[in-house]
Amino acid sequence: MHGLIRELFPICRSITGDGVRQTLARLAQEIPLVQHEVPSGTSVFDWTVPREWNVRDAYVKHPRGERVIDFRRHNLHLVNYSVPVRRTMTLTELRPHLHSLPDQPDLIPYRTSYYKEAWGFCLPHRQLEQLPDTEYEVLIDSTLAEGHLTYGECLLEGDTPQEVLISCHTCHPSLANDNLSGLAVATFLAKHLATVPHRYSYRVVFVPGTIGAITWLSRNEERVRHIRHGLVLTCIGDRASFTYKRSRRGDATIDHAVEHVLQHEDPGRRVVPFSPYGYDERQYCSPGFNLPVGCLMRSHHGHFPEYHTSADNPDFVTPEALAVAFSTLLSVFDVLEHDGRYVNLQPKCEPQLGRRGLYASTGGSSPSDLAMAMLWVLNLSDGQAGLLDIAHRSGMPFATVREAAERLERHHLLAAAP
């Protein structure tokens, strides 16, 4: 996963354009990915698919011929979606088009101008303060023309048409945590899920932020009725503990599943309520859809100093953090896959577990975790509570509760609820 991030990092992505296509083509080497092209001007609810943006080169050049700001050196130097420019300007004329971070003077900020025609460059504030007061050659060799919005989709069919939606954004250029960590983890999750049986179908979508999710929802209004659970993945590769943002519903199964897994796997986790600002969970959770989609991240967007700066590079994310994110999500999916309601077939008093080899033959000590889980499952399996409910109420890991239910079912003490 970390190697994939390093490979994709130099590509200049945006909400449209060849950078997105190049990124999706690389992901398609790992998973069965279908690319969709939606023409510019297409109406998608209250929005319109914008014109396609591509850039070949951009710089600010000193009269001596030195590129003092160079898009080819780092693609964050160019304000994303900048219109074409070819001019000679004084520093005074150029200054309103230059963006920096006075509080982080050695970092390049990430700035965009998607829906208003403008242009600009980003640079470290320390460099900005040292620019000589002279004339500069300014070039932005870009195109903003009728084209397409591109998104990718991978469907892994399961035993049922009910779906788990996994969504991540493809629109950021060289930003490793806020963009590529989600892409990498989602890709390798899909690669793994393609090799194992699963009850649910899994739909992994790689969409440009906001307009991409809106476009996908506009083209899939009938399909979304199959979505039972969903997660947006972002900022998932740094060293921080997990942050989970609940769905708009607040009490969806996905909310309980993620919170349960994090409770047992990450003591430092944070759970935050839904808000209508953030990533594409706000589109999936808009009131006209109200899908059960939460957002899983590590550092919360906007709340870590590397956010939307050149410090969000491949060294900021770690293979270890990606691996833990991967395994944590597999644990969440295991909960979704195996949660179910059962009925106790011996509900009048406690069945004798010892004669069935399910309980220690020597008394006087506390029951094992598995034996305790069997008692919880037997007591709460009334056809109404699911295994996740039982795990939550008992405070035990879902995997232990699931194993207890499987043992009880094998001994004909438990049956799946109708």
Residue list, annotated binding site for Zn(2+): 172, 178, 308
The annotation places the binding site at: 172, 178, 308
Ramachandran assignment for 248, one of left (phi > 0), alpha (psi -120 to 50 degrees), beta (any other): alpha
239 to 116, 236, 321, 347, 399: CA distances (angstroms): 36, 9, 6, 47, 26
Q: What's the rounded Cα separation, in Å, for the pair 145 and 81?
A: 11
First vs last Cα of the chain: how many Å apart?
41
Residue 413 and residue 354 in contact, taking contact as beta carbons nearer than 8 Å: no
Q: What's the rounded Cα separation, in Å, for the pair 415 and 344?
A: 7
Q: How is 332-343 classified by DSSP, letter by letter? A: HHHHHHH--EEE
H or E element at residue 55: strand 52-61
Residue 268 and residue 299 in contact, taking contact as beta carbons nearer than 8 Å: no
Q: What's the rounded Cα separation, in Å, for the pair 33 and 153?
A: 6
Strand, coil or helix: what is 138?
A: strand
Nearest residue to 257 via CA among 292, 308, 233, 289: 292
Q: Which residues contact 198 (CB under 8 A, 6 or more apart)?
A: 156, 158, 159, 333, 337
Q: What's the rounded Cα separation, in Å, for the pair 417 and 33?
A: 37
Q: What's the rounded Cα separation, in Å, for the pair 214 and 51?
A: 16
User: Which residue spans within 135-276 are E strands per DSSP?
Assistant: 135-145, 148-156, 163-169, 201-207, 227-233, 243-245, 270-272
H or E element at residue 382: strand 382-386
Q: What's the rounded Cα separation, in Å, for the pair 361 and 354?
A: 6
